[in-house]
Chain A
């Protein structure tokens, strides 16, 4: 990215003041190297977002930002319905409520070392992953609607999850305001065989070892010590979310035109929050959030069953579950006034600070666990929400490493078997239905997650707590 147009307001904060169609400034967080390596299209897309009706304060991009659809991936933008604000399908993305959850296992590396291949095989066998896989749970029309209204709470009621998990999931496991009736029959049909499936691409289930602790106080509250084994699941709302995204992108492109919203890029398709299109999208998108929460709860249940067979001494307790593709109505203080805003996070993690009323009591002093996924051979990070982030990015942080190389170039650079063998030499067991899939997800195709997380920490978006490295990776 050409940095000449930007003003550096702190070491990690870069601004572009409003010009042309922009209603608010663009603010991008990152160090100079991350900024220089960032795609020019991030700034271009963030500028486009800054011109949308009803946007409040700024159009933000996180340190892992890259070229997305309309909005940059790593984009955060809040809209006020009272000011003609919009909701955008592109601002949420195709994989609605894609997210990450991490579970403590109560095990150390020595407990799993001898059994990690067996564990990898059993997890790969039991948790459907990749193209053409189907879940064992089939929902009829009534059950589908109950799932779309009930989220992880519904999954627990069905016996696919633990009630103790719920307070450690955003929205306590159930998104209010979901409208199953706003979800098309095609979206529901696409989901019929996909409950409890991992998906493919960058989605994964990993066993990870806590390799470093940066904040011992917060780590203690999170129940993490060096050498602990945790399990992390990264996936989203599966076919249902993809279909809703596809349908509403088209619907909103028309709605924007009807409401006189001039879009510089069709992918920015949006509708006023107070319009039938906007309200239908919010109802369907919230139903998709419940689908993702139910899906991660079911996968957790399957994971617990595998551990019960292979390593029965394990106790899988949920640390937290975050979603990084959402639009949520939240109160935020803007210039001393509390306003209720529709905050879009496209590839960005909500990061509530200490004392936030939506957090369970256990996190009230340290803030929300913020889970950042890396690529399969490198590291992932666990951070904590910061006080004072409300004025930085509406309480949001980065979501992952972000790609630095296209899939096409990755398959030309590496072969899947070679990547798998190299990781095996480093003690990382990888299972996937596709060697090409492994090549496309090679660690070298991603940005340095440590640099992304350092920038998020130093910019004040969230605080580093622990770093984890993979031991077993199941790729879809």
Chain B
């Protein structure tokens, strides 16, 4: 439930006392951001249960990469809240500090998704976007 490792990218959760840390890992920053978004969904439900039925497009810029991750996750949280949907597939393209993305998912089905928590927001806690030896990570703690 809390870790899905596979080629080329993966996501994981890390512990925070009251809430949950999410981390996306990938060969590129695009992939790390997409994986972080799956980790976000996984705090609510099992991402593989979320079908691809509708999509949302996002396009915005932020002052730096870490704020870009904060804004990316909060944009998804906002779309999930107002559309009552969950996302499971993401295509992300980042150029400097501009993000263009499409997110696919479906409306919440409470019986099938068994949503565990509602995410209030992504936070600056443990917020980090970095590349080491060709591997990118994108992480922060989310408030649930």
Chain B residue at smallest Cβ distance from A433 = B110
Query: 1/0 per residue B103-144: CB within 8 Å of A?
Result: 000011110011111101111110100000000000001011
Interface residues on B, range: 35 or more
Query: 1/0 per residue A284-298: CB within 8 Å of B?
Result: 000000000000000
Shortest distance between the CB of A411 and any CB in chain B (Å): 7
Contact of A403 among B17, B77, B78 (CB under 8 A): B17
Residues of A within 8 A of B113 (CB): 131-132
Shortest distance between the CB of A10 and any CB in chain B (Å): 27
Query: 1/0 per residue A231-248: CB within 8 Å of B?
Result: 000000001001101100
Question: Quick check: is A363 within 8 A (CB to CB) of the other chain?
Answer: no
Q: Please count how many residues in chain A sit with their CB below 8 Å of the partner chain's CB atoms.
A: 49
Question: Quick check: is B13 within 8 A (CB to CB) of the other chain?
Answer: yes
Question: Quick check: is A436 within 8 A (CB to CB) of the other chain?
Answer: yes
Chain A residue at smallest Cβ distance from B85 = A132
Chain B residue at smallest Cβ distance from A409 = B15
Contact B70 A250 (CB under 8 A): yes
Task: Work out how many contacts link A and B, with CB atoms closer than 8 A.
Answer: 123
Contact A201 B118 (CB under 8 A): yes
Chain A residue at smallest Cβ distance from B63 = A254
Question: Quick check: is B2 within 8 A (CB to CB) of the other chain?
Answer: yes
Question: Given A267-B123, A406-B20, A436-B116, A250–B1 Cβ distance below 8 Å?
Answer: no
Query: 1/0 per residue B25-43: CB within 8 Å of A?
Result: 0000000000000000000
Shortest distance between the CB of A24 and any CB in chain B (Å): 24
Determine the distance from Cα of A199 to Cα of B26 in the docked complex, in whole angstroms: 33
Question: Quick check: is B52 within 8 A (CB to CB) of the other chain?
Answer: no
Question: Given A245-B121, A246-B74, A132–B84 Cβ distance below 8 Å?
Answer: yes
- The CB with the most chain A CB atoms within 10 A, among B19, B71, B127, is that of B19
Contact A434 B82 (CB under 8 A): no
Q: Which positions in A face B, CB cutoff 8 Å? A: 39, 66-70, 73, 93-95, 130-134, 186, 189-190, 192-193, 199-201, 239, 242-243, 245-246, 249-250, 253, 265-267, 269, 402-403, 406-409, 411, 433-437, 440, 476
6 further interface pairs, Cβ-Cβ under 8 Å (given A190-B78, A242-B77, A408-B2): A69-B124, A239-B81, A242-B81, A250-B71, A407-B20, A411-B1
